[in-house]
């Protein structure tokens, strides 16, 4: 069975500071990994995905993530936080076979202060 | 391409009533997924369609829940005899069968059972 652990239910940063949101996964088969962002009362928007190509993945809005197999990690980073980045972030894993249902972590709420 | 749409966006119902939600996927997407998200949690997989066939159901989907995708286009999710524990955000997503595998989410239907 697959699972995702997101360390830290809340992360607070100042505007302009580095954003680091942590995600560790467990999967018995090579995984696909995703980061989604959710604004209040909205659906999920895909930030970036890893599907066994380059281990450093660049996404929208300046976010990127690095797949590290040895650490079973897929941490999300952004060099400089903007106020508009304040939202809930979800890491998800799926198998690279079958119908690829997503298994989500519990989410990390990013708070950005001026 | 107008994205995934869901209707209604909000639904308040009394315990014991039946409710039905609709999801319209991105037009060329063959796969359609339903997820449920409770407060403070990540989305959890409920069920999946490939074209009109329902191919997988989670144990979360009790006998009171039924989903259809009659012509391989829109889908409906019905909950019979609603319970307070059914209060949640119900999210629909769609994807292609081949390619990048990312799932595109709708805005969700927030159900409140009183």
User: Does residue A109 surpass a pLDDT of 60?
Assistant: yes
What is the percentage of chain A residues whose pLDDT exceeds 90? 78
Alpha carbon of A97: minimum distance to chain B alpha carbons (Å): 10
Is residue B49 within 8 Å of residue B57, measured between CB atoms?
no
pLDDT tens-digit map of A63-75: 999 999 999 999 9
Residues of A near B (CB-CB distance < 8 A)? 4, 9, 32, 34, 36, 41-46, 49, 51, 90, 92, 94, 99-107
Q: Give the whole-angstrom CA distance, residue B24 versus residue B27.
A: 8
CB distance A43–B105 less than 8 Å? yes
The two tokens of residue B90 are: 């119900």
Percentage of chain B beyond pLDDT 70 is: 97
Q: Which of B26, B43, B55, B61 to mutate to test the interface with A (most CBs of A within 10 A)?
A: B43
- Closest residue in chain B to residue A107, using alpha carbons only: B42
pLDDT over threshold 80, residue B5: yes
3-state secondary structure chain A: CCEEECCCCEEEEECCCCEEECCEEECCCCEEEEEEEECCCCCEEEEEEECCCCCEEECHHHCEEEEECCCCEEEEEECCCCHHHCEEEEEEEEECCCCCCCEECCCEEEEEEC
Can you say whether the dihedral through the CA atoms of B32, A31, A87, B46 is positive or negative? positive
Q: What percent of chain B has pLDDT over 90?
A: 78
What is the rounded average pLDDT of the residues A81-99?
88
For residue A58, the model assigns a pLDDT of: 95
> pLDDT digit string (tens) for A5-36?
999 999 999 999 999 999 999 988 888 999 99
Structure tokens of B70?
Answer: 């009659």
Q: What percent of chain A has pLDDT over 70?
A: 96
Cβ–Cβ gap A90/B48 under 8 Å = no
Q: Which of B11, B25, B3, B20 is nearest to B92 (CA)?
A: B25
Query: Which chain B residue shows the shortest CA-CA distance from A35?
Result: B102
pLDDT, mean over chain B: 92
Range scoring the smallest mean pLDDT among A9-18, B7-16, B45-54, B75-84: B45-54
Nearest to B102 among A34, A101, A103 (CB): A34
Cβ-Cβ contacts under 8 Å, B101 against chain A: 32, 49, 51, 94, 100
Per DSSP, B86 falls in state: G
Binned at pLDDT 50, 70 and 90, residue A99 comes out as low
- Whether pLDDT at B63 is above 70: yes
């Amino acid at each position: 069975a697959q699972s995702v652990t997101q360390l830290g239910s809340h992360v607070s940063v100042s505007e302009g500071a580095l954003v680091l949101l942590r995600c560790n996964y467990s999967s018995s088969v090579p995984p696909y990994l995703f980061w989604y962002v959710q604004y209040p009362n909205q659906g999920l928007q895909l930030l970036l995905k890893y599907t066994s190509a380059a281990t450093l993945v660049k996404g929208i809005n300046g976010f990127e993530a690095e797949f590290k197999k040895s650490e079973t990690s897929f941490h999300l980073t952004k060099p400089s936080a903007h106020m508009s980045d304040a939202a809930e972030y979800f890491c998800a894993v799926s198998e690279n076979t079958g119908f690829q249902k997503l298994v989500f972590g519990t989410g990390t709420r990013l708070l950005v202060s001026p | 391409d107008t994205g995934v749409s869901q209707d209604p966006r909000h639904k308040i119902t009394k315990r014991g009533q039946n409710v039905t939600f609709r999801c319209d996927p991105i037009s060329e997407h063959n796969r359609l997924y339903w997820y449920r998200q409770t407060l403070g949690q990540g989305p959890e997989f409920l069920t999946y369609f490939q074209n009109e066939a329902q191919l997988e159901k989670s144990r979360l989907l009790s006998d009171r829940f039924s989903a259809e995708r009659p012509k391989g286009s829109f889908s409906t999710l019905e909950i019979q005899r609603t319970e307070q524990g059914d209060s949640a955000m119900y999210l629909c997503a769609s994807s292609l069968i081949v390619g990048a595998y990312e799932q595109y989410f709708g805005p969700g239907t927030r159900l409140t059972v009183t």
